């Protein structure tokens, strides 16, 4: 094939994907940045350049700070717990535990369910008086508590749901890594007289590091990307206690129709995701030797 034919084929093959990406990824990203420096158009009044006014509004907005801190707490509360559980699950179902198939199934099933269905199921679980949680606690003599309705427990309730849904998903990646590990390692370590825990801590866990980093980045992205459970279970309440960043964007953009301010909030979210992606690319580079 001639060189110019190569060029032409390359470009033509890419054209459909690039056109869609330009329209629905590159253009909106740039437009978001552009709009973050302009006012929200209202009726006949078009958007005007307002400099960093929207960003000033952001700094002075207590709900933004709260949704950001909620989101950080949400990440801190869900990520280590779901990763630790995932690792534990993977080690268990990789070994010779009784009923291994059934256990794998039990751990993985929540992953297949839509978040919205999961949220509905747990909403009932948490319901005051009727919910299973209240029933069980009531049977042990605990006082009734509105789990999703009180500021102190609502965010924690969402965290539990998220951990429940994600641990099984991350388990899969650990399981794959464990299965690709050579049994010779264990035999060699056993000859050296290493204890089981020692072997895990000094051999298995370090070898799983690339998997852990991969899972970690995905967990961070998910912590900022998924708000379905907020929409279904709490709508950000009570008193913004469960407002996550993307949910706040949704409220500002589609309840108050303040698109300029939503643009500023989106920029913040994109910056967070960008940071996660940069880490991921570093990780992917490092993974190469692992294959």
Residues 226-285 within binding reach of another protein (CB under 8 A): 227-228, 231-232, 246, 249-250, 253-254, 259, 262-263, 266, 269-270, 273-274, 276-277, 280, 284
Which of left, alpha, beta for 286 (phi over 0: left; psi -120 to 50: alpha)?
alpha
> Is residue 47 near another protein by the rule CB under 8 A?
no
* In the complex, least distance from residue 234 CB atom to another protein, rounded to whole angstroms: 13
* Residue in 219, 234, 106, 93 with CA at minimum distance from that of residue 162: 219
Among 69, 121, 206, 209, binds another protein (CB under 8 A): 121
Nearer to another protein, 52 or 284 (CB): 284
287, 80 Cβ separation under 8 angstroms: no
Site mask, another protein, residues 49-88, x = CB under 8 A? ------------------------------------x--x
Nearer to another protein, 70 or 166 (CB): 166
| Cα-based distances in Å from 170 to 71, 83, 106 | 20, 7, 14
As a residue count, the chain comes to 291
The span from the CA of 104 to the CA of 178, in Å, is: 14
* In the complex, least distance from residue 122 CB atom to another protein, rounded to whole angstroms: 6
Site mask, another protein, residues 193-222, x = CB under 8 A? ---x--xx---x---------x---x----
Among 37, 55, 73, 164, binds another protein (CB under 8 A): 164
Binding span for another protein by CB under 8 A among 53-61, 68-76, 146-154, 223-231:
223-231
Binding span for another protein by CB under 8 A among 57-65, 68-76, 129-137, 143-151:
129-137
Nearer to another protein, 72 or 232 (CB): 232
Buried b (16+ CB within 10 A) or exposed e, 62-72: eebebbbebbe
């Amino acid at each position: 094939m001639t060189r110019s034919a190569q060029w032409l084929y390359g470009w033509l093959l890419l054209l459909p994907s690039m056109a869609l990406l330009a329209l629905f990824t590159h253009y909106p990203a740039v437009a978001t940045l552009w709009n973050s420096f302009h006012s929200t158009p209202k009726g006949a009044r078009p958007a005007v350049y307002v400099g960093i006014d929207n960003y000033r509004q952001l700094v002075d907005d207590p709900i933004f700070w709260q949704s950001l801190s909620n989101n950080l707490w949400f990440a801190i509360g869900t990520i280590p717990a779901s990763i630790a559980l995932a690792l534990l699950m993977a080690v268990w179902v990789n070994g010779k535990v009784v009923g291994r198939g059934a256990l794998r199934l039990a751990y993985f099933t929540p992953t297949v369910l839509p978040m919205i269905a999961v949220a509905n199921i747990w909403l009932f679980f948490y319901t005051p008086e009727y919910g299973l949680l209240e029933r069980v606690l009531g049977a042990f003599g605990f006082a009734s508590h509105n789990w999703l309705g009180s500021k102190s427990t609502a965010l924690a309730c969402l965290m539990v749901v998220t951990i429940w849904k994600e641990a099984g998903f991350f388990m899969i990646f650990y399981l794959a890594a464990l299965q690709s590990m050579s049994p010779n390692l264990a035999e060699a370590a056993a000859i050296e007289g290493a204890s089981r825990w020692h072997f895990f801590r000094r051999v298995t866990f370090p070898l799983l590091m690339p998997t852990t980093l991969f899972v970690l980045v995905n967990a961070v992205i998910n912590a900022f990307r998924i708000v379905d459970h907020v929409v279904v279970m709490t709508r950000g309440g009570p008193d913004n206690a469960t407002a996550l960043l993307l949910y706040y964007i949704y409220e500002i953009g589609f309840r108050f129709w303040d698109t300029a301010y939503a643009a500023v909030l989106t920029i913040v979210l994109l910056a967070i995701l960008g940071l996660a992606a940069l880490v991921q690319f570093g990780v992917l580079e490092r993974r190469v030797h692992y294959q």
